[in-house]
Structure 1
Amino acid sequence: MSTRKFAPKEPVQLNPPRSDPFTTEQLSKFDGIQDPRIYVAIKGTIFDVSRNKEKYGKGQGYSLFVARDASIALAKSSLDTSIYNQGLTLADLSEKELKTLEDWYSFFIQRYNIVGKLVD
C-alpha cells in the first residue's frame, strides 16, 4: 500500500473589511448574479459566502439569506422569505431565538471572511 503525500493547501487570501459601511441597497447587489460575490449579513456584520455557492448560490437552499441581513430568519430558523416582510427587529426575538442567532453568528465568524458592516 502506497502512501500519498499531499501538498498543503494554500492559505485563503482574505481582504480586510471595508472601512465604510454598506447600505442595504449596496448589500442587495452581492447576490452572486448582479455581482459574482455572495454576501450575507448577520447582526449587521457582512460575511462573504461566495466560496460556498452550492448552498448560497441562486436557487440553492440558503439563497434566501443572501444579499441582506438574515438575522431574523436565522434566529427563527425560517426558510420562508415572508419573514423579511414582517417588520421584525432583534428586540422582537425571544431569548431562545437570540441564542440561536448567536450560534449562527459564531458559525459564520469561524468560517467566512468579514467584508464589512451594514448601516441603515
Structure 2
Amino acid sequence: LMWVLLQFISGSIQRNPLTNFLPVLKLYDLLYPEKEALPVPDYNKPTCTHQMAVTCIWIHLLKKAQSDHLNLQRPVPNTLKVQHEFLQHLVVNNANLCMGSDYRIALLCNAYSTNQE
C-alpha cells in the first residue's frame, strides 16, 4: 500500500498543496503503531524499496512543507528515525555510490525525486 501511495505522492506533490496529503499522516498512525524503530532493510534486495516506502513518503512531505514555508508540526517519528538517518547518510556520502547490484540509488530516487537541490 505505501509503495503505491509513494508513487502517487511523488508524482503529484509538486502540483498540489500540502494539505491534500496530510491524511497520509493518519494512515501512518494506523499502519505503524509500534514504537520501536523499523530497521534498515537489506539494500541488496529489491524489496527494500517497498519496505522503506513510508520513510520516503515522510521525506516528500517534509520537503513539501519546507518548500511551501510551512511547519509540518510533526517530527520524523521514532519508528522511521533509523531509516530516515540511513537515507540522509546516503545523501551526504553519495560519492561512495555507484551503479551496482544494490538498491541504494533506487532508495535515494524514491525519497528525493522531487527535490530541487
- TM-score normalised to the size of structure 2? 0.27
Higher helix proportion, which one?
2
- TM-score normalised to the size of structure 1? 0.27
Higher strand proportion, which one?
1
